[in-house]
Structure 1
Amino acid sequence: MDNWLEVTVETSDEEMETLAARLTMNGAEGLVLEDETDFKVFLEENRQYWDYVDDALLERMKGVARIKFYVPDDEEGRAQMAAALEGIGNPVSTAPLKEEDWAYGWQKYYQPMAVGERMYIVPEWERGKPVPQGRTAVYLNPGLTFGTGSHASTQLCLGLLEGRVIPRQKVLDLGCGSGILSVAALNLGAVEAVGVDIDPKAVGVAYENAQLNGIGRDRYTVRAGDVLSDAGLVEELVQAGPYEIVLANIVSDVIIPLSAQVHRFLAPGGTFLCSGIIDSRADEVADALEKNGLEILERLERDGWCALAARAGRPG
C-alpha cells in the first residue's frame, strides 16, 4: 500500500481519553494523541533541551487536543474510517499521505540556512548543492536530535563564534547537543574541540554529525556528564585544556553557576560565549559573569533571546 489517509479528530483535554476509548472500540488502530498539556509536561521534564524547541512547533501545539489514526486510501480504508467514526460527532479532517511521507515528510521543514556572515547550515540530504561564496558549510542530520541551528539562541551563538575562531585554537562546547557549535568551530579553523552533554545520546549524535563534516576523533572528543556536579569530569576537561573558546548554549540557570568555574577551562584572555538566555534574565547573567572576573565584550539579542561574549580576566 503506497497511499494512506491521515484522519484527524478534534477533541479537548477532558474528552481525549474517552474519545480514544470509543475509537478503539470502533476498530481504529494505531492512535496518535496530540495534546498541548502533555507537550508542556514533556518540556518541563526535559528543561535542559527546551531552548532547542523550534518556535514554530510551540505555536503549532498551542491549544492542540486531537487524535489521529491512519487507514488505506482506498474503498476498504474509507469503510474502516467510517466504522471508526460511527457515533462520533467531533470535527474530523482527512489528508492524503504517501508511504514515503512516513519516513521523509519531515525533511521539507529543513532547508539550507545562512547564519551570521560566514555560516551555512546544510541538512545532509542537501549535500552536493552549491554553498554560497564566502560561507562555510556545516552538515547536519536534523533528524538525530535537538540542535539544528534554527533556534535564535543557536544562531546568536554561531554569530558570536564565527568572528572569534582562528586556526590552532582549542574549543570546549558545554551542552553540545547535536554538536553544531563545536563542529562549526572546527570547520571554521579550530584545531581541536571537546563537547560535553548531560544526555548520553548526544555523544553518538555529535560524533555522527562530525563525521558528516569529515571530522574524526583525533580532533573531536565528546563526553557525557554534568560539569556542575562531576568533579572528575571537570578535572579531566581542565587537564585537556586550556581552551581559547568555551561555548555554553544552555539556559541561564546553568550558565550562572558555570560562570564561577569557567576560568578553570579558559586560556588566559580566552573567550566565553554563552547563549540560551531569555532577554529578561540577560542582565542577571551578565552580572554573574562580571562578578566571577569575566569582562563582557559583546551582547547580541534576537526574538527575545540573548547571547553574551566575555573575556577571561587575570586571576584575582
Structure 2
Amino acid sequence: MKWLELHIDTTHAGLEAVETMLSSLGIDGVVIDDETEFQEFLENNHQYWDYVDEELEKRMEGKSRVTFYLEADEAGFAKLGEVRIALAQLKHSRTDCGTLLMTLENLEDADWENNWKQYYRPMEIGERLLVVPQWETADPKGRIPLILDPGLTFGTGSHATTRLCLTALEQRIHGGERVLDLGCGSGILSIAALRLGAAHAFACDIDDKCLDVAYENAALNGIGPDTYTVRVGDILTNRALQAEIDGGYDVVLANIVADVIIALAPAVRGLLAPGGVFLCSGIIDDRAEEVAGKLRAAGLKLLESRESEGWFAYTCC
C-alpha cells in the first residue's frame, strides 16, 4: 500500500485550528512538531537530561508543523482536495496561523497538480447552474455553464457553503441586479451572478491572490472589467475600499465564516438597496443560532435558512 505524507506548516497558535480542521474532515491521526512544546519539555525535564542534542534542537527551531497520512488512491486524492479547500477557508478566517503551506512527500508535485484536478467534475447546482472546471468539457443541457479554475483560492462549488450560496443566489437574480461579493475567493459567486443576468458585480477579498484568480475566472466566462470589479482589502477597516463600495446593492454575498459575518452584520443595511437581500454562508452548525441572533440584532430579517453537511446559509433583508 502506498501512502502520501503531508505536512502543514503553521504557528504555535495555529496548531489547534489545523488539528480541528483536519478532524472535521475525518483525519485524526496526526503528528505534531512544535518548537514551543519542545522547549517547554526540555525546561520542565532538564533534571533528566545530561545534554541536549543540538542537531535535534536545530531541527525544531521555528517549527510548528502538522503531519498526516493518506492512502495514495482515489479516496486519498479526493480527501486531499477537501483539505486544500478547507485550508484556504482557514486562511480567510484566521490571521495567526502562519503560511499554512501544505507540502507532500512520496509524490512529485507535478503528479499532485494533475491528480487533484481529476476529482473536480462538472456539477449541477440549483435549477440553472452547471459549474465546469476549466480542464473539463460538459454539455450544459440547458443550464448556464460557469467555468472555473480555483487556483489557490477558496471557491470551487464543491464545498457545501458555496453550493448553498449558489442555490440561494440563482433564486434572487432575475436580470439587471447590482451585486456585492465580500470575501470573493475564486470569484465563483459574483461571476455566477453575472452569468445569471446581474448587470454589475463588485468583489473584494483580503487575499491578494484572489485579484488575479477572480479576473481570470471572469475572463473564462466572457466577463470583462466593464461589468466586474475586483479589489483587495478588508471592508471592516479599509476606508478607501468602503468608499469605493458605497451601497445600493440588490444582492450582498458573504461566504466567509461566522465571526466575520457577525462583524459585518451592523454594516449590511447600509450596503443594500431598498428590497435588497443579504446572502451569507460559511456558518458551521454549532454557531448557526448565534449568527442568526446577531443578524436579527443588527436589524436584519431572516427570510430563509438552508443547511447542508453541517453548514448553514441565511437569506436576510
Equivalent in 134, 155, 158 of residue 150 of structure 1 = 158
Deviation track 1:221-262 (CA, whole Å, cap 9, x = no partner) reads 000000111122112111xx4110000000110101201011
- What's the CA shift for 1:98? 9.4
In structure 2, do the counterparts of structure 1 residues 124 and 94 end up closer, same or farther at CA, with 3 Å as the change threshold? closer
In structure 2, do the counterparts of structure 1 residues 281 and 100 end up closer, same or farther at CA, with 3 Å as the change threshold? closer
Sequence identity, in percent?
A: 50
Q: Which amino acid aligns with 1:296?
A: L
Q: Does 1:126 align with 2:136?
A: yes
Counterpart position of 1:34: 6
In structure 2, do the counterparts of structure 1 residues 103 and 243 end up closer, same or farther at CA, with 3 Å as the change threshold? same
Q: Does 1:116 align with 2:82?
A: no
Equivalent in 298, 308, 311 of residue 292 of structure 1 = 298
Structural mapping, 1:266-277, within 5 Å = 266-277=272-283
In structure 2, do the counterparts of structure 1 residues 140 and 275 end up closer, same or farther at CA, with 3 Å as the change threshold? same
Q: Which amino acid aligns with 2:139?
A: P
Q: Does 1:248 align with 2:215?
A: no
Q: Which sections of structure 2, spanning at least 5 residues, go unmatched?
A: 33-70, 74-105
Counterpart position of 1:219: 227
CA distance in 2, matches of 1:145, 1:289: 27
Q: Does 1:196 align with 2:162?
A: no
Q: Which amino acid aligns with 2:202?
A: V
Deviation track 1:155-192 (CA, whole Å, cap 9, x = no partner) reads 11111111001211000000000000000000000010
Structural mapping, 1:90-105, within 5 Å = 101-105=111-115
Q: TM-score if structure 1 supplies the norm length?
A: 0.70
Could you tell me whether the CA contact under 8 Å between 1:279 and 1:304 is conserved in 2? Answer: yes
Deviation track 1:121-140 (CA, whole Å, cap 9, x = no partner) reads 1001113x31133x211100
CA distance in 2, matches of 1:250, 1:108: 26
SS at match of 1:259: helix
In structure 2, do the counterparts of structure 1 residues 304 and 8 end up closer, same or farther at CA, with 3 Å as the change threshold? closer
Could you tell me whether the CA contact under 8 Å between 2:150 and 2:213 is conserved in 1? Answer: no
Structural mapping, 1:1-316, within 5 Å = 8=3, 34-35=6-7, 38=8, 44=14, 58-59=25-26, 61-64=27-30, 101-127=111-137, 129-133=138-142, 135-238=143-246, 241-311=247-317
SS at match of 2:301: strand
In structure 2, do the counterparts of structure 1 residues 97 and 252 end up closer, same or farther at CA, with 3 Å as the change threshold? closer
CA distance in 2, matches of 1:109, 1:39: 25
In structure 2, do the counterparts of structure 1 residues 168 and 103 end up closer, same or farther at CA, with 3 Å as the change threshold? same
Q: Which sections of structure 1, spanning at least 5 residues, go unmatched?
A: 1-5, 10-32, 67-92, 312-316
CA distance in 2, matches of 1:233, 1:143: 25
Deviation track 1:28-59 (CA, whole Å, cap 9, x = no partner) reads xxxxx524xx46869948x8x99xx8x89933
SS at match of 2:161: helix
- What's the CA shift for 1:64? 4.5
In structure 2, do the counterparts of structure 1 residues 94 and 190 end up closer, same or farther at CA, with 3 Å as the change threshold? closer
In structure 2, do the counterparts of structure 1 residues 102 and 248 end up closer, same or farther at CA, with 3 Å as the change threshold? closer
> Which stretches of structure 1, 4 residues or more, deviate above 2 A after TM superposition?
6-9, 38-45, 55-59, 93-103, 142-145
Q: Which amino acid aligns with 2:6?
A: E
CA distance in 1, matches of 2:126, 2:11: 33
Could you tell me whether the CA contact under 8 Å between 1:255 and 1:274 is conserved in 2? Answer: yes
CA distance in 2, matches of 1:104, 1:303: 28
**Is 181-190 or 285-294 further displaced after alignment?**
285-294
* Pairs aligned (count): 246
Structure (1 or 2) with the larger CA radius of gyration: 1
CA distance in 1, matches of 2:13, 2:140: 35
In structure 2, do the counterparts of structure 1 residues 34 and 283 end up closer, same or farther at CA, with 3 Å as the change threshold? same
CA distance in 2, matches of 1:152, 1:39: 26
In structure 2, do the counterparts of structure 1 residues 7 and 248 end up closer, same or farther at CA, with 3 Å as the change threshold? same
CA distance in 2, matches of 1:94, 1:282: 36
SS at match of 1:190: coil
CA distance in 1, matches of 2:128, 2:218: 19
